[in-house]
Amino acid sequence: MIDKKNSCKTTTLENGLQVAVIRKDGALFSCNIGIRTGALHEGPAQKGICHFLEHMIFKGTIFRSNKTLNEDLEYLGGEYNAFTDYVSTVFTITALQEEISEGLGILNEMVRFPAFPVDEMEKEKGVVLSELKATLDDTESLTLNLLNRKAYRKSGLRTDILGTKTCIKGFTRKKLADFHSKHYVPGNAVLTIVSPLEFSLVLKIVKDIFGSWTGDAPKKNEISFEKNRPGRFKSSKQMEQSAIGMLYTFELEEHEKLPLRILNYKLGNSANSMLFRKLREEMGLAYDAYSDLDLTDRIQSLTIYTQVHDDSTEVALDIIKGITEGLAQGSVISDRDLEVMKKVMKTGVMSTLEDTHHLCSSIMDDLIEGDPPMKFLEDIEDLEKITLVDVERVAAKVLKDPTIFILRAGD
């Protein structure tokens, strides 16, 4: 297993860029550059600008056209991608280790010198608006978006990361360029690299490429935690099945997060979870049922989702409530369950350590959240100390007063 002390080095360049370098044997390198600005930092007239900007970063730089940039990315022979979430925007490259200088050079050029060609902007608006419309056709996406709108009164979580139709149509080159110049600065960025190369060599490459980048961290819109609004809400849509979404929000201390992650595995995050076993295997009501945990600071939520035949909606909802209420009362999980869940978490960590890309992304997540890199290694040590009492306490704290949204099949 990777030794954190000898395999991971962190530094902050003079320009403010935070860098984490991990040495891992193998033929590949992976790098992520993350901007600490996401959908929750957007103003009312900016909804979707982080995601739209992410798209436009791939549409050419002041040195390379759209076609040339993407051909050069392809020529690396690996994988490249990007994503936007509520607190960050991240760009990734994974390729053969001999491509590290070229890969980092292209990434540097993309995030620092995008061209924002007007013709490409107009075409991309159509692409993103199509993407937004697709969420209305996707039952799961629509249900979870509507669930958030019912659960929150003020939070930016009410709005899809893609933004709104009005805002997307209103984006101009100037608005994009102004947002970019404010947020795409080294003082607001994190760079993570996993490769087999020596630390000194990687750091030299990083300084040579990113050292001339300038800009301090900007003042951003404050993100505050909002408790969900408890209650049951519903709507209808012409479709084949009905969907059920449940949302819990909470504010946990650091030591409570690991027990909750263990609980989530048992509740709905494995093929043998309580939700899956009951709703699918025992009752035959649903093809899938899951729970999703978000421990991002100032978001902290747990979501449950499933789809069932409309006639089975109330039965399925009663089953879900029975499971969550039983967990909250501390009468469901056994010592064997706890042992299995610990093994599952350990397996997940080991899988991350084996995969260059996943390891790089995991460390990026740590740094964006303000955690030490490779925090999961600390979690492995702490895992052995977790008891059933710890899990039961966090279940009682979290699994109460949910927002329930039902999207029923109908006209």
Rounded to an integer, what distance in angstroms lies between the CA atom of residue 282 and that of residue 304?
18
- The domain locations on the chain are 4-210, 231-409
Rounded-to-integer distance, Cα 69 and Cα 106, Å: 8
8 Å CB contact between 380 and 353: no
Query: Which residues have a Cβ under 8 Å from the Cβ of 74 and sit 6 or more positions away?
Result: none
Helix (H, G, I), strand (E, B) or coil at 408: strand
Query: Helix, strand or coil for residue 43?
Result: coil
What is the CATH number assigned to the segment(s) 4-210?
A: 3.30.830.10
Opening angle at CA 380, ends 379 and 385, nearest 5 = 85
Tens of each residue's pLDDT in the chain, 411 residues: 566 656 899 999 999 999 999 999 999 999 999 999 999 999 999 999 999 999 999 999 999 999 999 999 999 999 999 999 999 999 999 999 999 999 999 999 999 999 999 999 999 999 999 999 999 999 999 999 999 999 999 999 999 999 999 999 999 999 999 999 999 999 999 999 999 999 999 999 999 999 999 999 999 888 899 999 999 999 999 999 999 999 999 999 999 999 999 999 999 998 889 999 999 999 999 999 999 999 998 999 999 999 999 999 999 999 999 999 999 998 778 888 889 888 988 888 889 999 999 999 999 999 999 898 988 888 888 888 999 999 999 999 999 999 999 999 876
Of the candidates 31, 210, 32, 217, the one whose C-alpha atom is nearest the C-alpha of residue 108 is: 210
Residue 198: its H or E element = none
Q: Give the single-character DSSP code of 264.
A: H
Let me know: does 85 contact 365? Beta carbons within 8 Å. Answer: no
The whole-number pLDDT of residue 378 equals: 85
Confidence at residue 3, expressed as pLDDT on a 0 to 100 scale: 62
Q: What is the pTM of this model?
A: 0.94
Tokens of 392: 């039961």
pLDDT digits (tens, 9 = 90+) for 381-390: 888 899 999 9
Q: Classify 231-409 by CATH class.
A: alpha beta
**CATH topology match: 4-210 vs 231-409:** yes
C-alpha gyration radius of the chain: 23
Mind listing the pLDDT tens digit for each residue in 4-56?
656 899 999 999 999 999 999 999 999 999 999 999 999 999 999 999 999 99
